[in-house]
Amino acid sequence: MVNFSLKGKVALVTGGVYGIGFAIAEALHEAGAKIVYNCSTEKSMQTGIENYKKAGIDAKGYMCDVTKEDQVKEMLADIEKNFGGVDILVNNAGIIKRIPMEEMSVEDFRKVVDVDLIAPFIMAKAVIPGMIKKGHGKIINICSMMSELGRETVSAYAAAKGGLKMLTKNICSEYGEHNIQCNGIGPGYIATPQTAPLREIQPDGSRHPFDQFIISKTPAGRWGTPEDLKGPAVFLASEASDFVNGHILYVDGGILAYIGKQPK
């Protein structure tokens, strides 16, 4: 029997208060994991508390900015003390700034790289020693289409997510011998607060041009939803994927395979 169960495991989902992170936390809970999560603002924490309550999930939330190593160490010490450490880490917390590169400040570029690449390094570095002691561990980095492709205005995000793909492969290379599997999930275009600006209904009531563009570029002919990521997350968090390592699993409705709708 293939083992997809996460019973007895502790899963930490960074930014796991709404959007993709919350959906992944729900799925890992349904598979039996104890959920702990964090975010960096009170507003998101309140949303998270409400979401977990509504879902009937007894999860522990931490206010922790993943770019701050001292806050990360404090959060992990509490998780160690109260829950026995982290078995599954989902590096989900992320930001994006959509600014033409020549207009983007170095500070803005650095902020995106801090959250989307350096923070996953900080988080993984912090949980790996405990995983080595346990004799197992799962790290799932939430990558992106932009781990493979570029587009206008997202230079910092693409650079960070491209780096996150290679960090994933390097953690696999360095820690596979300790029975730690580090893989990525590369969501396509998913309907969450992060992509809301790309789906805004136009003043004339029409769909946002980018919305129409993504629909035409996606063989599935639709935006993804956070629900679409649940199964892949449980697979990569469970023993069913113990021989899968350093892989980026794209959950994109086929975008990466498709050159785009041909002219009629």
Active site residues: 157
- Applying CB under 6 A, the site for ligand NAP has a residue count of 29
44 binds, among ligand GCO, ligand NAP, none (CB under 5 to 8 A by kind): ligand NAP
Q: 184 or 263, CB closer to ligand NAP? A: 184
**In contact, 175 and 182? CB cutoff 8 Å:** yes
Please report, as residue ranges, which positions from 233 to 252 form the binding site for ligand NAP (by CB under 6 A).
none
Residue 62 main-chain phi, psi, to 5 deg: -125, 135
Rounded CA-CA distance 105/123 in Å is: 26
φ, ψ of residue 103 in degrees (nearest 5)? -100, -10
Rounded to 5 degrees, φ, ψ at 39 are: -155, -175
- What helix, strand, coil percent values describe the chain, rounded to 5? 50, 15, 35
The Cα–Cα gap between 173 and 237 comes to 18
Q: Running DSSP on this structure, what letter comes out for residue 150?
A: -
User: Which structure tokens are listed for 192?
Assistant: 């969450």
- From ligand GCO, ligand NAP, none, interface partner of 38 (C-beta below 5 to 8 A by class): ligand NAP
User: How far apart, in Å, do the first and last CA atoms of the chain sit?
Assistant: 48
For the bound state, the minimum distance from the C-beta of residue 114 to ligand GCO, rounded and expressed in Å, comes to: 17
Single-letter amino acid code for the residue at 43: K
Geometric angle at alpha carbon 194, from 11 and 192, rounded to 5° = 70
Q: How far is the CB of 15 from ligand GCO (least distance, A)?
A: 13
Convert residues 105-144 into a mask of x (bound to ligand GCO by CB under 6 A) and - (unbound): ---------------------------------------x
Residues between 45 and 64 that touch ligand GCO (CB under 6 A): none
Three-state DSSP class for residue 89: strand
| Residue 115 binding ligand NAP, by CB under 6 A | yes
Is the Cβ of residue 50 or residue 242 nearer to ligand NAP in the bound state? 50
DSSP 118: I
Taking the least distance from each CB to ligand NAP, the nearer of 90 and 128 is: 90
Nearer to ligand NAP, 61 or 85 (CB): 61
3 state DSSP class of 112? helix
Pattern 149-188, binding to ligand GCO, x per CB under 6 A? --x--x--x-----------------------------xx
Q: For 178, phi and psi rounded to 5 degrees?
A: -95, 15
Query: Of 16-55, which residues contact ligand NAP (CB under 6 A)?
Result: 17-21, 38-41, 44
State the residues that interact with ligand NAP by CB under 6 A: 14-15, 17-21, 38-41, 44, 65-67, 92-95, 115, 142, 144, 187, 189-190, 192-195
State the residues that interact with ligand GCO by CB under 6 A: 96, 98, 144-146, 151, 154, 157, 187-189, 194-195, 198
